[in-house]
Amino acid sequence: MHIPYSRQEISEADITAVVDVLKSDFLTQGPAIPAFERAFAEAHGARHAIAVANATAALHIALMALDVKAGGLVWTCPISFVASANCALYVGADVDFVDIDPVTRNMSIEELRTKLQAAKASGRLPDVVVPVDFSGLACDLKELRELADLYSFRILEDASHATGARYLDGPVGSGFADISVFSFHAVKIVTTAEGGMLTTDDDELARRLRLLRTHGVTREADQLERQSEGGWYYEQVALGFNYRITDMQAALGLSQLSRMDAWRGRRQTLADRYDRLLGNERFKLPVQLQDRASSWHLYVVELTDAVQATRAEVFAGLREAGIGANVHYIPIHTHPHYERLGFKRGDYPNSERYYDRAITIPLFPAMTETQQDFVVSTLNRLAG
């Protein structure tokens, strides 16, 4: 039996949607992109959604739209994919980290508050904080908003895991962060193979993001700085990139989006079942909170001191049994590139303790109970 840790679901309708674009007049910049953007904005309660080539590109132009430049300062979490921190380096800003809360595995509000107080005292507050909705569980957005208003920083939410997640009765992607970013990489919740989305309620930020996505070039009459010279006329008014998504990808995303809620339901059922089957002293399981619904991109167990075997042994045993275990993530600050920037192991103890014990076990909508039982029995044997 081979069980991947994640697996995309491509339906006949998805395939038809992509083939229809291939047979149409537009492969890129056609009608599927605005249709996908509108549907995504509606599903996530946002005024604007802007589709781009991938979430890494989205994080990059989000910081640019938020005016972060060389000499700026961005804070994020060590437990994330490296892109959450790299975006700061792309714009020449400095990056720093806030440790995680061991229960939610998201940015710790207590650590953030303490670090902000110290930063204020020393005269260098962050321009932007990038919290991560790790595994699909929304971060503490209400508390983050209060701190953002108090200390005047902007919130760029890395919601790459959280497509379809909910927080305080509303969808993730609206209401709290200045900009939220989603990923449609093949292992994520909804896929376009590669792709990303930015949501915002701010008209001006949305305008800038659209401009930065396409070279900083505009044809919109109200954005031209000079008189139009004719129907061909366009102007470059800022330095942007080619970060566009294609119409084929957008058609796939739009088709996938209709199954988003059903997938969340299925992932929730499987997560509840893991909770039941693995609920013993050997495993520290993901938390479930009353005020938010995870999209369950990942299900991560931490081995406790009750387990004799090492994490490496348990991991190798799972792989040997054909189970696609994974580890999310190596703390960003411990990578060689970040060590060269002055960070070191020991800087963020909660993130490091989590990392040393974490194993991501398979979870995807098409997973069967038989597959899940096999994961559980194998894990029980290895951690026995």
Ligand X SMILES: *Cc1c(COP(=O)(O)O)cnc(C)c1O
Residue 253 CB, nearest distance to ligand X (Å)? 12
Of 112, 103, 111, nearest in space to 137 by CA: 103
Cβ proximity to ligand X, 183 vs 372, nearer residue: 183
CA torsion sign, 24 to 29 to 33 to 35?
negative
Phi, psi of 325 (to 5 degrees): -70, 160
Indicate the residue among 84 and 214 with the shorter CB distance to ligand X. 84
If the CB atoms of residues 164 and 196 are measured against ligand X, the closer one turns out to be: 196
Q: How far apart are CA 67 and CA 201, in angstroms?
A: 17
Residue with tokens 């957008």: 250
State both tokens at 174: 């609206």
> For residue 124, what are the CA distances in angstroms to 94, 151, 154?
11, 11, 15
Task: Report residue 249 CA to chain centroid gap.
Answer: 18
Q: Do 122 and 151 form a contact (C-beta atoms < 8 A)? A: no
CB closer to ligand X, 240 vs 383? 240
Q: Which of 6, 104, 106, 160 binds ligand X (CB under 6 A)?
A: 160
* Residue 132 engages ligand X in binding (rule: CB under 6 A): yes
Residue 333 CB, shortest distance to ligand X, in Å, is: 15
Residue in 280, 378, 244, 363 with CA at minimum distance from that of residue 322:
378
Q: How far is the CB of 248 from ligand X (least distance, A)?
A: 16
Q: How far is the CB of 51 from ligand X (least distance, A)?
A: 11
Q: Is 246 in the site for ligand X (CB under 6 A)?
A: no
Site for ligand X in 25-64 (CB under 6 A): 54-56
CB-nearer residue toward ligand X: 8 or 84: 84
Tell me how far, at minimum, the Cβ of 90 lies from ligand X, in Å. Answer: 12
Q: How many residues bind ligand X (CB under 6 A)?
A: 14
**Binding residue for ligand X (CB under 6 A) from 44, 115, 161, 333?**
161
3-state secondary structure string, 66-77?
Answer: CCCCCCCEEEEC
Cα dist. 113→18, 130, 133, 155 in Å? 47, 14, 18, 14
- What residues numbered 162-191 form the site for ligand X, per CB under 6 A? 183, 185
60 or 357: whose CB is closer to ligand X? 60
Of 55 and 64, the one with the shorter C-beta distance to ligand X is 55
At closest approach, how far in Å is the CB of 111 from ligand X? 19
Question: Nearer to ligand X by C-beta: 130 or 307?
Answer: 130
The token pair that represents 73 in the structure block:
């300062």
- DSSP letter assigned to residue 159: -
Helices (H), ranges, 237-368: 247-257, 260-278, 311-320, 336-339, 349-357
Contact indicator for 365, 190 with CB cutoff of 8 Å: no
**Given the rule CB under 6 A, which of 98-106, 120-128, 154-162, 270-278 is the region that contacts ligand X?**
154-162
76-95 binders of ligand X (CB under 6 A): 80-81, 83-84
| In the complex, least distance from residue 327 CB atom to ligand X, rounded to whole angstroms | 13
- Nearer CB in complex with ligand X: 132/383: 132
CB-based contact 6:362 (threshold 8 Å): yes
Helices 83-90, 55-65: inter-axial angle, 10-degree rounding = 40
Min separation Cβ 191 and ligand X, Å: 10
Give the CA distances from residue 2 to residues 166, 299, 323, in Å, rounded to whole numbers and listed in that order. 32, 18, 6
x/- map, 194-213, ligand X, by CB under 6 A? --x-----------------
Instruction: Work out whether 105 is an interface residue with ligand X (CB under 6 A).
Output: no
For ligand X, the binding residue among 140, 157, 158, 302 (CB under 6 A) is 158
Kindly list the residues in this chain that would bind ligand X in the complex (CB under 6 A): 54-56, 80-81, 83-84, 132, 158, 160-161, 183, 185, 196
